[in-house]
């Protein structure tokens, strides 16, 4: 089917996603090999993306769509912006709260707003496209392109309306599939507003499909990379290290940030069993969100070293003097780069 024909079909079907479609017309966003019904479902899903803003006066989240006005008294002008994006979600969890709460995403958002009352914390809810069945994982992964674009349009709108005045004060944090979505957001903000976002954090960016990117026909996935923001840091918790099987490890081992952290070596986390890690349990994967949340209060010193074995044997000195940096939030000087290791207890 030609791009033109597909466009006409979609415009007729979904008049009010017209703007998203125009973006989709851009060749980067559209590929003949994605079946139109799947694309339509994605567009419908993107339309249902919600942005949850923290209301500090009642400890609740206020939900709005990309185009809804920002309610009075919810935005702290001049405050930092923390945009948090969840990953693939499970059906057994029914509500949005359960689905993204399971990953620890709400705890992370709450920790940020407790840390500094003037932070504007936003959780992006894309559970409509991120939820099982697993056969939809491919679709969920492809959707990260469109979800990221939607979030970029949302942020650019906030900037136009004066809510965001300084892109350096914006930090976007994404977990798993969200760990690649944040890269799309950063990339698109550069295209739309000509500015780089201050900081982008990938928490165990998803491995499945992304590790074999480019090998699937019609693949639109885009891997987080250090060009996406001024400072990009990645924490690896459940990475697949080739030649281990593709299934079972939920994160990617690709070193793609200015700084990449490998707690406990980056494959398996303390408190999770080897069996869990081999069988695709998200135990180690979820730890990345937990570490980020804990880092807001506790300090996690991570140090440069050539690899995990050398680090574990105590052969790399670990202190601030020897080049150590903090993993999580706050992180590092903008000049920090490379791979950092830390033993979690
Ligand atoms: C925030 O919470 C307060 C107190 O419950 C409430 O009056 C107000 O309407 C809420 N604002 C939004 C935007 O949810
Ligand atoms: C909270 O954030 C604001 C805006 O970034 C900053 O000026 C202030 O120092 C922060 N307060 C604390 C306690 O960190
Ligand atoms: C569409 O998919 C084909 C592989 O089927 C690939 O060669 C091409 O680069 C893709 N086009 C875009 C715009 O992503």
Instruction: Find out whether the beta carbon of 116 lies less than 6 Å from any atom of ligand 2.
Output: yes
pLDDT band at 164 (very low <50, low <70, confident <90, very high): very high
Do 237 and 269 form a contact (C-beta atoms < 8 A)? yes
Q: From the candidates 176, 195, 284, 295, which is the catalytic residue?
A: 176
pLDDT at 217 over 80: no
Q: Could you say which of 3.30.70.20, 3.40.50.1820, 3.40.50.2000, 3.40.30.10 is the CATH number of the domain covering 50-298+338-342?
A: 3.40.50.1820
Count CB neighbours of 4 within 10 A: 9
Query: CATH 3.40.50.1820 spans which residues of the chain?
Result: 50-298+338-342
Cα 58 to averaged position of ligand 1 atoms, centre (Å): 6
- Closest by CA to 337, choosing from 302, 291, 298, is 302
Write out pLDDT tens, residues 173-182.
999 999 999 9
| Phi-psi domain of 254 (left: phi exceeds 0; alpha: psi -120 through 50; beta: other) | beta
- In the annotation, is 86 catalytic? no
Between 1-5, 19-23, 96-100, 119-123, the lowest mean confidence (pLDDT) is in 19-23
Q: Does residue 219 have its Cβ closer than 6 Å to ligand 2?
A: no
Q: What is the mean pLDDT of the chain?
A: 88
pLDDT at 5: 43
Q: What is the pLDDT of residues 254-299, one digit of tens each?
A: 999 999 999 999 999 999 998 888 788 899 999 999 999 999 999 9
Ligand 1 neighbours, Cβ below 6 Å, are: 55, 57-58, 62, 71, 74
Could you tell me the CA-to-CA distances from 248 to 210, 267, 274, 279, 307 in Å, in that order? 14, 11, 11, 5, 22
Instruction: Determine the residue of 50, 54, 58, 76 to mutate for testing ligand 1's pocket, defined as the one with the most ligand atoms within 8 A of the Cβ atom.
Output: 58
Q: How far is CA 140 from CA 45, 207, 256, 261, in A?
A: 10, 13, 22, 26
| Six-digit token string for 316 | 């790399």
* Ligand 2 within 6 A of CB of 329: no
Under 8 Å between Cβ of 124 and 151: yes
Q: Is residue 345 in contact with ligand 3, taking CB distance under 6 Å?
A: no
- Residues 52-81 pLDDT 10s: 999 988 889 999 999 999 998 899 998 999
Q: Which whole-number Å values give the CA distances from 180 to 66, 141, 272, in the listed order?
A: 20, 9, 24
Distance, CA of 183 to CA of 192 (rounded, Å): 14
Answer with the residue of higher pLDDT: 37 or 224. 224
0.85 exceeded by the pTM?
yes
Q: What's the confidence (pLDDT) of residue 12?
A: 34
């Amino acid at each position: 089917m030609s791009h033109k024909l597909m466009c006409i079909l979609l415009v007729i079907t979904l008049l009010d996603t017209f703007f998203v479609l125009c973006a989709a017309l851009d060749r980067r966003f559209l590929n003949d090999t994605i079946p139109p019904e799947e694309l339509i479902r994605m567009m419908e899903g993107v339309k249902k993306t919600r942005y949850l803003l923290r209301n500090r006066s009642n400890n609740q989240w206020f939900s709005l769509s990309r185009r809804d006005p920002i309610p009075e008294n919810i935005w702290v002008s001049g405050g930092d912006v923390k945009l948090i994006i969840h990953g693939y979600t499970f059906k057994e969890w029914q509500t949005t709260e359960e689905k993204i709460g399971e990953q620890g995403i709400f705890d992370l958002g709450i920790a940020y707003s407790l840390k500094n009352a003037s932070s504007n914390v936003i959780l992006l809810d894309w559970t409509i496209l991120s939820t099982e069945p697993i056969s939809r994982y491919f679709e969920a992964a492809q959707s990260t392109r469109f979800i990221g674009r939607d979030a970029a349009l949302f942020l650019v709108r906030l900037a136009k309306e004066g809510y965001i005045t300084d892109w350096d004060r914006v930090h976007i944090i994404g977990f798993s599939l969200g760990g690649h979505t944040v890269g799309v957001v950063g990339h698109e903000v550069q295209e739309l507003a000509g500015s780089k976002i201050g900081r982008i954090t990938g928490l165990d960016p998803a491995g499945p499909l992304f590790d074999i990117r480019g090998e699937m026909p019609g693949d639109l996935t885009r891997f987080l990379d250090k060009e996406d923001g001024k400072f990009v840091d990645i924490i690896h918790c459940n990475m697949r290290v080739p030649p281990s099987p593709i299934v079972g490890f939920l994160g990617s081992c690709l070193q793609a940030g200015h700084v990449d952290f490998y707690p406990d070596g980056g494959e398996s986390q303390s408190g999770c069993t080897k069996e869990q890690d081999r069988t695709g349990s998200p135990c180690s994967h979820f730890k990345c969100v937990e570490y980020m949340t804990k880092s807001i209060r506790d300090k996690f010193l991570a140090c440069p070293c050539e690899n995990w074995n050398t680090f574990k044997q105590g052969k790399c000195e670990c202190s601030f003097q020897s080049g150590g940096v903090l993993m999580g939030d706050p992180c590092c000087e903008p000049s920090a780069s490379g791979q950092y290791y830390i033993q979690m207890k």
